[in-house]
Chain A
């Protein structure tokens, strides 16, 4: 089917882009990589008159990695992100790893982290990495800039707290403790090309005595949005990681979710896969801490 929009803008600065999205209001759509939007424009699920393409704005592609935080531009392509040495060798390596799991080479060469998260798919691959890293979404809009905690960003499938005219500029990742590592795994039928049936991210920080200081567990594909499994996190804090503790954590994860059955998998199967993957990811995070 033919796309319906009539106007296309390719601003070179964020200021220009902000003016355009304000001027055209609800009748305009932002495009970054286009790997999601273009398909929806063509299927006419999305009918807008105006497209504002933010993929030529250099300031949305900047990455800054320092000791105390990393700031990642919303419109940087996921391929570059997945290979960035300064990110891969940092406390936030998990973000590069998650980016590397989004679909195929061609899609990663275009797709962005802004698009992946504003898309708000419960199976998105970069979202669990952001959730377990306590990321902050840096947004700018008609009323100025605001920061949104990633766990408060999603409100439903395809829905976020973004207001009309707001643009995601970047994601900020705060410093992590020493002895803190993360692991991520996606389960899909045809490898990374496919959308995840479920995905699991775990970040663990250990005290000197080996007990858990901090735990973050994110689950995808099991609820209307990617989610933190807070009950599992609370259970893990203070524990020494043993096989019994891992078993109990995975059981809590499985029992705390109410996934749906759809063409990809049944609810029971999703619960079982979460149970298995939570175990794997806890073990992997612990192994990385060493």
Chain B
């Protein structure tokens, strides 16, 4: 990364595409993803690391992008909800959320799905307990979590059946 007088140049990868931008350093990853890159599927809620709606996957790990400084994205690979859909349509976790009515207002959904994806990528056989643990940092005010957990279990089985 090069450091200009008051700006920094940051290079990273978002949803498989390289990104290079010159920005003031006093910004968080969520701000840049939404404001500069138009990735508004990344939500901004509490902005203090509590609610989890800003969750993205960074180098394979779920993180809250509201507490990542933009400079800390240097050299990383980031996946947002916009990057999940493949050539054959929605990702199995996305489809399972629809099929299992795991969405009401939908505000928590991108973060939930990305936390679930990071979990299943690391542990394809995650149990209900593992799923609940992985979602601990994602708050949903609508659904009561049961449908969300069911959707992720169904997606897990679907992904494993395809493999």
Contact = CB atoms under 8 A, between A and B. Distances in A.
Contacts of B115: 105-106
Interface of B: 1, 3, 6, 8, 24-28, 47-49, 52, 55, 58, 61-64, 66-69, 71-72, 74, 115, 118-119, 133-134, 136-138
Contact of B6 (A4, A7, A79): A7
Nearest to B134: A105
A8 B71 contact: yes
Interface residues of A, number: 33
5 closest cross-chain pairs (CB), A and B: A104-B137, A8-B25, A3-B26, A109-B61, A38-B67
Given A38-B69, A107-B137, 4 more contacts: A8-B69, A39-B48, A79-B61, A191-B136
23 contacts: A3-B28, A7-B6, A8-B8, A8-B26, A8-B69, A9-B3, A10-B72, A33-B67, A39-B48, A41-B26, A42-B28, A42-B47, A43-B48, A53-B69, A104-B137, A105-B133, A105-B137, A106-B52, A106-B64, A107-B64, A107-B67, A191-B136, A193-B137
Contacts of A33: 67
Nearest to A3: B26
Given A6-B25, A8-B25, A51-B25, A105 B62 contact: yes
A110 interface: yes
Interface of A: 2-10, 31, 33-35, 38-39, 41-43, 51, 53, 55-56, 79, 103-107, 109-110, 191-193
A191 B26 CA distance: 32
B61 A34 contact: no
Contacts of A51: 25, 69, 71
B67 A10 contact: no
Nearest to A6: B6
A278 B97 CA distance: 43
B26 A10 contact: no
A33 B67 CA distance: 8
Nearest to B114: A106
Contacts of B134: 105
Contacts of A4: 26
Contact of A2 (B6, B26, B63, B119): B26
A104 B136 contact: yes
B71 to A, nearest CB: 5
Given A35-B67, A53-B69, A107 B133 contact: no
B8 to A, nearest CB: 6
Most buried by A among B47, B72, B134: B72
Contacts of A104: 52, 136-138
A191 B115 CA distance: 18
A229 to B, nearest CB: 30
B134 to A, nearest CB: 5
A10 B74 contact: yes
A103 B119 CA distance: 16
Nearest to A109: B61
A31 B69 CA distance: 9
